[in-house]
Structure 1
Amino acid sequence: MLELARTRNVTRRLVLAAAMTLPFAASIPAHAQETVKIGLVAALSGQSAKSGEAITRGLTLAIDKINAEGGVLGKQVELVSRDDESNPGKGLVAARELVQREGVAALIGGLDTPVSLAIVPFVNQEKVVFVGPWAAGTPITKNGAEENYVFRVSAVDEYVDEAITEYLVTKYGAKKPGLILINNPWGESNERGLTKALEKRGMEHAGIEKFESNDVDVVPQLTRLKEAGADSLFLVANVAPSAQVVKSLDRMGWDVPISSHWGPAGGRFTELAGPSGEKVHFIQTFLFTEESDPLFVTLKEKFPEIKTLADVTPATGIANAYDAMLLLAAAIEKAGSTDGPAIREAMYEVSGIEGVIKTYDKPFTPDDQDALGPEDYTFAHFVDGQIIPLGE
């Protein structure tokens, strides 16, 4: 609770800062617009740009389908995007701009948990539905708001932590894993989840080490874990920092099993990590396994630069965003309005929505605003630049 309180204090300051950086702009009545605008705040540049690209592609395919079937409320759906550059302050400013200037009916988030956590207080205050298709930090949806406007079609840290703990124990017989975590709110969220999963099994960890996203040498932290007797590693970080962990392990000559959150899937991980990147096993919620997959066929038609399955990194971002957009559109249609509170109530009623991950029958409740659970996870790794299920 102390960590959550700190996060709330930081995000409150960010809300005030964003308010001062933008001139006053009256909200644009969404009903007066010719289209139903959906706002996207995601990393569209920088080291996590592949994640933003994947989310954009998934949303675009879903919107094409929705519009071909008549749109929502008799109007076409329009995507309005802003780049958060993986920066919480910039993400919050972008969210305010989309809501107050563009008059979006709802917001879609991106990869980074710190950015989403910065946006959460704002959307709850403004009563605007915010759907996360990627960021997995547990407090994003479990944020303590009396009226919670934040929903998610993605993995959830506390569930992922249980899954990757079970994986290390059952596959490798791990008895004393070490934790190597990015030093930000996402790392903190997983520290709580992983230690809870170990305590549940009566297990001890070899230590908890943190590192920064711009660290190029993680050997000191890994050395401490090795000397403490770590027989395996939990890794939580996005693409570039995860690659630095792998390269540091190579420099040490330490070949140790690694069970990871899905951070490495957000870009060309093995290009940065080298061949040893293929040893990292990580969680996914969706994978293309056949080029005949209907969504993959549509993806190739829409984006000619995609030739093979190896050109899709990662499929999880595409699928989560695609399903999130279908659920959001169904809720807006059911609400009969672009009014935020009406859409929020309708999110609890949507049913029979056939997504690519699964069919959703009332996937949200006021007590659980996450549409996906552990049963929707699978483990994967990179092989020749392509993410494939383990065992294939």
Structure 2
Amino acid sequence: MTMRQLLLSLGVLTASIASPAFAQTTAPIKVGMNCTYEGGSSEMGISMRAALRIAVKEINDVGGVGGRKIELVERDDKAKPDIGVAVAEDLVHKEKVVATIGYCNSGVAAKAVDVYQKARVPLIIPVATGTAITKKFAGESENYVFRVAMPDEKQVDFILHDLVEKRGLDKVAVFADDTGYGEGGLKDVERLLQKRNLKPVFVARFKQGTPDLTAQLKEARAAGANALFVYALGPDMATVSKSRSAIGWSVQQTGPWTVAFRNHIDTAGATADGAVMPQTFIQDGVMNERATSLVLQYARQNNVKNITCAMCAAQAYDSMFILLNAMFQAKDLTGPAIKDALENLEQRVAGVIGIYHKPYSKEDHEAMDGSILVLGQVKHGLVQYAYPSDVKRSILASRTKVQPKKAITPVAATK
């Protein structure tokens, strides 16, 4: 299916003619985008930015949105919370974006979401996975924070189910960096272990960029750990892999999706082999039509073989098309109208990861749940499926989150 056929199937090209949201102006529709493109988080930002540029070009090449082109307003938050807030203020109040697709670092997003909530402008987060981010305003009458990424708590529960319930690896050592990301991840691991009547046998906190962790790993081994859960970005994940190999410890290493980042795998080399992680999208696996198109375009435009963060790219790309559908459904391009459309999407959105059928509701601003996850494993420098059964699941382009069952109201008996 060509992109033009895909947009036609979504009703985009025909609906745009009559939609009042796009009448009387040809000015570009500004959509914000931000992350960091340098340092330890750069692979997330570079992958996200490239995928969004591809998505926007596809939309603009077939006429844009109701005759109006989408303009990506790109910003660099430097992975710093204060800059992340300043970026949000700039995008919302100066650039007047209709929505933003952004934030890679959970600690940065945690502060910046306040700006979007107060301004009543939707924010769709395609990368940052901190559990609390979308829950911050969940109890209020309106919540402008959405996500197309797997929350940390879902990733942790998925991994612990594999380690503990499937394989009996119940002596877990946790290594977490000293950022907000590591802090939140550690809390999720401890809480979800406690639900299993377990607790970590060893916990190590470390600063980002620590060059060697052999001493802490020896302590974890002495504590009897049979699984190693690492909450950190790619470069520090590589330090753990290399330090673990240096002491000859063949324990099962795991962690969140960052285990699959190229700056872990390429830096750690053979020492990364065998590590497992949760995945929503595996570039080296079976791909649907939209995934194949994205990967080929990304490789050609960026002159690379492997996307540095394949899940970041896939989730960012899908975020753009979810937003696109919401803009067409909305009565106008104000923040409240787009938010309401996101919460009540009428059309299914065919994406790279799967088909999004009512991805959001007023109560649920997570587009994904644990049912979408598959277990990836590093094998010979690539991320591959850990279980053959997951290959079959991923072939299905209709993969989507499980919809809650509607309560059946009993019918009163008639006399």
- Indicate whether the TM-score tops 0.5: yes
Going from structure 1 to structure 2, the CA distance change for 1:322 and 1:252 (only over 3 Å counts) comes to same
**How far off its partner does 1:96 sit?**
1.6
User: Which amino acid in the other structure matches residue 332 of structure 2?
Assistant: S
Match of 1:49 in 2: 42
CA offsets, 1:65-107, max 9 Å, x none?
A: 3334443344111111111222222222222222222221111
Kindly indicate whether the alpha-carbon contact (under 8 Å) linking 2:290 and 2:352 is maintained by their aligned counterparts in 1: no
- 2:280 alignment partner in structure 1: 285
Which of 353, 374, 379 aligns to 1:378? It is 374
Offset of 1:235 from its aligned partner? 1.2
Alpha-carbon distance between aligned partners in 2 of 1:83 and 1:307, rounded to the nearest angstrom? 22
Q: Distance in 2 between matches of 1:172 and 1:278?
A: 19
Aligned-partner Cα distance in 1 for 2:288–2:182: 37
**Residue 195 (structure 2) pairs with residue 177 (structure 1):** no
TM-score, length-scaled by structure 1: 0.85
CA drift at 1:298: 4.8
Separation in 2, partners of 1:391, 1:197 = 23
Given residue 114 of structure 2, which amino acid in structure 1 is its aligned partner?
P
Matched, 1:211 2:216: no
Query: Contact 2:330–2:338 (CA<8 Å) still a contact in 1?
Result: yes
Contact 2:54 2:297 in 1 (8 A): no
Q: How far apart are 1:239 and its partner, in Å?
A: 0.6
Q: Report what 1:314 is aligned to.
A: 309
User: What is the SS of the residue equivalent to 1:337?
Assistant: coil
Alignment of 1:52-131 (within 5 A): 52-131=45-124
Paired residue type of 1:283: P
Determine if contact 1:45/1:83 at 8 Å carries over to the other structure: no
Instruction: Give the structure 2 partner of residue 5 of structure 1.
Output: none
Q: Distance in 2 between matches of 1:33 and 1:68?
A: 15
Q: In the alignment, is residue 243 of structure 1 matched against residue 238 of structure 2?
A: yes
Q: CA deviation at 1:227?
A: 2.1
- The answer (yes or no) to whether the contact 1:267–1:314 under 8 Å persists in 2 is yes
Partner of 1:136: 129
Paired residue secondary structure (1:379): strand
Q: C-alpha distance in 2, partners of 1:244/1:369? A: 35
* C-alpha contact (below 8 Å) 1:283/1:380 kept by paired residues: yes
Deviation at 1:314, TM superposition (A): 2.4
Runs of 4+ in 1 over 4 A off after TM superposition: 290-294, 305-308
Give the letter aligned to residue 342 of structure 1.
Answer: A
CA deviation profile, 1:306-363 (whole Å, cap 9, x unmatched): 677x422322111111111111111122113221111111111113111121211211
Partner of 1:356: 352
2: CA distance between counterparts of 1:73 and 1:334? 12
Deviation string, structure 1 residues 188-241 (Cα, Å, up to 9, x no partner): 222222222222222232022211112112223323322222111111111111
**SS of 2:367 mapped into structure 1:** coil
Distance 2:290 2:333 in 1: 31
* Alignment-derived partner of residue 200 in structure 1: 195
Residues 59 and 322, structure 1, Cα contact 8 Å, conserved in 2:
yes
- Distance (Å, rounded) in 2 between the aligned partners of 1:297 and 1:323: 13
Q: Which amino acid aligns with 1:35?
A: P
Higher alpha-carbon Rg: 2
Secondary structure class of the residue paired with 1:37 = strand
Matches of 2:375 and 2:286 in 1, distance apart?
Answer: 17
Q: Which of 311, 329, 332 is the matching residue for 1:334? A: 329
Aligned-pair Cα RMSD in Å: 2.3
Is the 1:291–1:297 contact (alpha carbons within 8 Å) kept by the matching residues of 2? no
List alignment gaps of at least 5 residues for structure 1. 1-30
Question: Which is worse superposed, 80-89 or 382-391?
Answer: 382-391
TM-score by length of 2: 0.81
Note if contact 2:270-2:381 (Cα within 8 Å) is conserved in structure 1.
no
Q: Is the 8 A contact 2:274 2:379 kept in 1?
A: no
Change in CA separation of 1:299 and 1:228 when aligned onto 2, cut-off 3 Å: closer
1:324 aligns with 2:319: yes
- Judged with a 3 Å threshold, the aligned counterparts in structure 2 of structure 1 residues 150 and 190 are, in CA distance, closer, same or farther, namely same
How many residue pairs match? The answer is: 361
* Inter-CA distance 292–375: structure 2 relative to 1 (3 Å threshold): closer
Distance 2:59 2:36 in 1: 24
Distance (Å, rounded) in 2 between the aligned partners of 1:333 and 1:385: 42
Equivalents in 1 of 2:84, 2:357: separation in Å? Answer: 31
Tell me the residue number matched to 2:8. Answer: none
Matched AA of 1:304? R
Is the Cα contact below 8 Å between 1:132 and 1:152 reproduced in 2?
yes
> Which consecutive residues of structure 2, in runs of 5 or more, have no partner in the other structure?
1-23, 389-415
Counterparts of 1:302 and 1:250 in 2: how far apart (Å)?
Answer: 33
Aligned twin of 2:365 = 369
